[in-house]
Structure 1
Amino acid sequence: MELDADSDGRRARGAASRAAILEAATSLFCGHGYSATGMSAIATAAGVHSGSIYHAFGSKQRLLDAVMDSVADRTFAAVDRVVVETTSTLSGRLTDTARVLVSDPDFLRLFLLLALERSDDADVRMTVERVRTRARSVVVAALEPTLAGLDPAIRDVAADLVGRLALILLDGVFVSQQLDSELADLDATLALVTGVADLALSQLTAIVPATQPPP
């Protein structure tokens, strides 16, 4: 019984240490960037020894992967909850998705910092591409129901295009809010963005054939 208690205690301490490391790494990566953040700084912020980070994650790259997955899980779960509860319109779903990203900015901030600062690092680039692919799938799944009225022959291609456009627009909304957070009117920005999205959706039948490769 005592051995079981000791084992449970070790697991609990290990889980608490891991959570503290993830929280510290997320904060420092968001504030200073990935390349400028050393493992010793993360250890200090988390209140652990540097060796504990390597024991828990193995390397800085694997810690980055864990941070990105943790932040992405939280963000995508919030998007899933929102789109289930919101209207069935493209503008409604896009608006609520944007509000999720603006209210909890860690995901896009980390993603954009990584994309800009370490394009020459193959491992980091793979992380960026993997998470971006996952984000695109989540956005496509959230918006796809709005395309139910389209011809089935073009629906899959249209969903892919709408997902690409939505990510571009969401990136723009996020950057706009970060650069001018005190003055930017989120409602006005979202009205403009969703207006563009609705216009693009109305033109999809004309756009889709032009984007498909020749037979």
Structure 2
Amino acid sequence: MKILALDLGKFNTMCCFFDSKTRKHSFLNATTDRHYLATVFKKHKIDLVVMEACGPSGWINDLAQSYGLKTLVCSTNEDAWKWSNVKRKTDKDDALKLARMAAIHELKAVHMPSEQHREFRSLVKYRKTLDWRINKIKCTIRAWFVNHGISIDQGDKAWHTGRALINSFRKPLAECSGNEMWRGELDIELTQLDSLSQQLDTGTFASMRVH
């Protein structure tokens, strides 16, 4: 069996071409790029593509399967994978070990969600990031008012019925004098707050519920 084991990195990937019958192997230092890896998949005779589960493994798995190649995405947290008493550990070592373990069926496959499912999970995570940004902006704005001895409404009320009061202190940064720069900063933060809030209240995000 001709095995291609990939030790994936953000920018570069070490490819190990391993023949399970002859035990011979060779290496190729590849760019972690869709076009480059597509060329690798098309150019070489491959029966199985093996890689560890990580960030790039999703699209690389999809790409390999699009060329009709059998794939195995594995967990490297298993006991069989752990390195013990090894002084030398390189990308080539990782790739070769991955290939050898695949040849003797010692790798545990992990479930690889579809591209659509991965994109949805990414969107859910991103929505939480936007929620965090909104809360951070609100905390920043509250701190400015506290630091200037100005009272605004507490809780959500400040951003609804109390928003007019907050808006009354905003001012374009270019028009602020030296002692009112915070008003310009407030204007910028409110602009970002409104933009993010509008995005979350409409379209796809509006139908999502984050717990």
For the aligned pair, the TM-score class normalised by the smaller chain equals under 0.3
Rg larger in structure: 2
TM-score by length of 2: 0.24
TM-score by length of 1: 0.24
Q: Which has the higher strand share?
A: 2
Q: Which has the higher helix share?
A: 1
